[in-house]
Structure 1
Amino acid sequence: MAGRREKKNDIQGKWLKEALAKQGVSVYRLAKELGISREKFYRHIGNKTYLSSESLAAIARLYPSMNMRYVLTGEGVPMTT
């Protein structure tokens, strides 16, 4: 169980929140556009859950200028050029 707790620190929901802010998009709008419960994203931003690969792929398709490497690792900048 300790290993899982340590892993949670590797992926931070704040990176998604920061990337969305750079896009000028709220969590509510993202959830509505994807047809996914906004609570799912709020739980991720609060570092309580992970997003599925399907959710991440949908975000990447919807916002092609969002730097998904930043969303996953915090490395780089929130938007690609």
Structure 2
Amino acid sequence: MSSVTVSTKGQIVLPAEVRRTLGIVGGSRLEVTVIGNEVVLKPVRGDPVQPRDCVSTIPNTAGPLSVERMDELLDQAFVRNAKP
């Protein structure tokens, strides 16, 4: 069993092994339920993500981008293009 720390904004980071096991990727939705004194997270299964939904452009910037910055920009684009 692993533990996570809740940020001051109420955010947590799921361990990579948990994400891999459950197929949770950036943009995945989780259902949050409270049962007694436990918080239960379950992946929301819907239509699979289509490759066309992941296509986006990253704004042209001066100089190279770090991997972290690329991930951040791609996450922002995914959220912008996500269908409700």
* TM-score calculated relative to the size of structure 2: 0.29
Q: Structure 1 or 2: larger strand share?
A: 2
Which is higher, the Rg of structure 1 or of structure 2? 2
* TM-score calculated relative to the size of structure 1: 0.29
Q: Structure 1 or 2: larger helix share?
A: 1
Q: Which has the higher contact order (CA 8 A, sep 6+)?
A: 1
